[in-house]
Chain A
């Protein structure tokens, strides 16, 4: 099976712009989670989508949003970019086995976002 893919791999934006990142999960996985990884904060959970519905949400401002399509592909959008949004954004997909809390996560390579 192909792994989790994320596009683009690198992105440079300026403050105030918006950005959309894409994630294609492993075939058959219906849960997709997004994380922000920075040297200072580590991996922080953004949100999780399951069957096109946001199932869990982390503690990020409303500028961060996402959606999931019927084929389980997911997009994440950040509006009004700030310098502090520079980070590696990771997507992870999971098979739905016995509920969300028991899911092993399969991570993609990430999108490196730089905000100037």
Chain B
């Protein structure tokens, strides 16, 4: 069965620091990749997605993620975080083969940004 690993469960940063959250998945076939974010008191919402093409994708609020197929990774990055980026971040993988489209989510990374 496929799995998604988010290595950092809790990350604490100061404003203006750079952010990189790791996401690795185990699935040999073609996948679609997503990062979702949940701000305090709000619903889960899409941050960015990768379907095909340029492996460097840009999302909302200055976030970007790079798909490295050889490493089965889809890491999330932001050059300079803000206090408002405090949230929980989830990586999700959707397999494209087998005819059964069941997404697998990572367990999430809690990010706290100190002002």
**Contact residues of A with B, CB < 8 Å?**
3-4, 33, 35, 41-45, 48, 55-59, 90, 92, 99-102, 104-110
Contact = CB atoms under 8 A, between A and B. Distances in A.
Contacts of B101: 48, 55-56, 99-101
Interchain residue pairs A-B with the least CB separation, the first 4 = A42-B107, A43-B105, A107-B44, A100-B101
Contacts of B100: 56
Interface size class of B (residues with CB under 8 A): 20 to 34
Contacts, number: 56
Contacts of B105: 35, 42-45
B43 A109 contact: yes
B45 A107 contact: yes
Interface in B54-80: none
Contact of A101 (B43, B46, B96, B107): B96
A56 B108 contact: no
B4 to A, nearest CB: 9
A92 B103 CA distance: 12
B89 interface: no
A38 B37 CA distance: 16
A90 B104 contact: no
B108 A105 contact: no
A90 B106 contact: no
A104 B46 CA distance: 7
A108 B108 contact: no
B29 to A, nearest CB: 11
A36 B46 CA distance: 18
Contact of A3 (B36, B43, B96, B107): B43
A33 B92 CA distance: 14
B91 to A, nearest CB: 10
Given A43-B90, A101-B96, A102-B51, A108 B103 contact: no
A108 B46 contact: no
Given A45-B103, A56-B100, 8 more contacts: A42-B90, A42-B105, A48-B102, A55-B101, A101-B94, A104-B34, A108-B43, A109-B43
B32 interface: yes
A41 B106 CA distance: 9
